[in-house]
Structure 1
Amino acid sequence: MRHIVWDWNGTLFHDIDAVVGATNEVFLPYGLAPFDADSFREVYTRPIWVAYERMLGRPLDEGEWERLDVAFHEHYHQLMLACELAKDAQSCLREWEGSGRTQSLLSMWAHDRLVPKVGEFGIGGHFARVDGLRSASGGTKAEHMVAHLRALGLDPETVVVIGDSVDDGHAAQHVGAQAILYTGGMTRRSELEALGFPVVDSLADALGRVV
């Protein structure tokens, strides 16, 4: 493989505590018991509104998704300030760049927040392209992956996607790329393994699986 497309939330950016904390704040008025990381992974899926319906045990009312999404991000953007990169993220980015191959970043987080955050960590120079969402949140990653690879002029057969969610795996499948899925984020291992891609417990292990 000549190119890695990295995911951000739950992959390079270790923000599971902020995601769970923000979710608990959002659902506090509903009387739900607070989630920890493991119980959150049991209900997490994309699109996010499906996860919220799992949590509530009912379909969302009209307009409820939009309200919950706004509230989640208000809490998340505070809690994420205490989060750091995954422990081996920087070394993996440097190692891959040092191999003479390329990498990029595709996130389902808002583009205008993603770019400054990447800059804060001083890692922007590692990426040939950084893309976040430029529209409403909550959908799937597949079509964004199509646009991302097209903008880079890449053949999907030369690409491996490294991410923490089933959505990352589906996006790779959609474009005909490979994927390596990481357990450090929001998705339980069994769900990742069901896709048939390699599943790893560290980014260093993921990098070691790239051929």
Structure 2
Amino acid sequence: MAKDLETALLRSFVTAVRAGSISRAATALGHTQPALSQQLRKLESAVGRPLLHRSPSGVSLTRAGEELLPYAERILSLSAQALTATGRALTGRCGVGLLEDLAAAQLPQALADLARLHPGATLEVLSLSGVTIREAYHAGRVQLVLDEATDLPAPPRWTVRRPLVWAVGQGVDPAADPLPVVLFTGTCAWRTSVVETLD
């Protein structure tokens, strides 16, 4: 059976390390010194190694304690972030420009979920050509572009490139001439790439 590290035990450990003393850590956490010592022993038992050197002058980390400390701090930080995020409602407005094929699949359900979870937030989704998306971006109506929009005023913060996938329906002869294909309108960059590749 898998072991779990309890956040309460990790908090006791991190507080003891930062305070440099079990008694000071117990005061900071509102525990008694014996209760905090018991929690530290429980954590050491879960890890299977001693985490602290104890002396009359205070505590210091063992090698295992040094290895555990950054993980403990990250776990406590993520726990605090999760509690904050789940209690925070999104508000405001955001405009998103994207291709029609991205908008047609799971987006309606995602928008319905967003509206239910965050009724104070407004998300405007514009399915436009690249030129029109660029104009909406410049006008401040769109803040997020899910498309290949060139000539933006600054480079994007991040981009994702996906391979072009060819799909053939059942019963279609790929050697047929002319070859029956489904394409976007003439302004679509993907149409140009497909036609050039076929040529």
TM over 0.5: no
TM-score by length of 2: 0.24
Structure with greater Cα Rg: 2
Q: Which of 1 and 2 has higher RCO (CA within 8 Å, sep 6+)?
A: 1
TM-score by length of 1: 0.23
